[in-house]
Amino acid sequence: MSDIVLSLLVLGALAMLGGGWIAWKKGDRKRAVLMVIAAAVMALNVAIWTIPTPEDTSLTEAAREAD
């Protein structure tokens, strides 16, 4: 289940970056910056959940073991 959520977060971040690019080109600078910030937050969340800890496990693996 968490793999699906992380995949959707990555796709959402890419979509937000694309939307930010389009908004920037149309002149809506404020919305473009907010979309890029939202994409960065989404990407950082994925990184936090997937980067290994010093014990060579990730938070995703730890969550699977807890179930």
**For residue range 42-57, what is the model confidence (pLDDT) as tens digits?**
999 999 888 887 888 8
CA-to-CA distance for 50 and 61, rounded, in angstroms? Answer: 9
Establish if 65 belongs to a structural domain.
no
Establish if 66 belongs to a structural domain.
no
CA-to-CA distance for 26 and 59, rounded, in angstroms? Answer: 39
- Average model confidence (pLDDT) for the chain? 90
Domain count across the chain: 1
Whether 41 and 12 have beta carbons less than 8 Å apart is answered as no
Q: What is the extent of the structural domain holding 33?
A: 2-54
Task: Name the pLDDT band for 24 (thresholds 50, 70, 90).
Answer: very high
Q: pTM for this one? A: 0.81
Establish if 61 belongs to a structural domain.
no
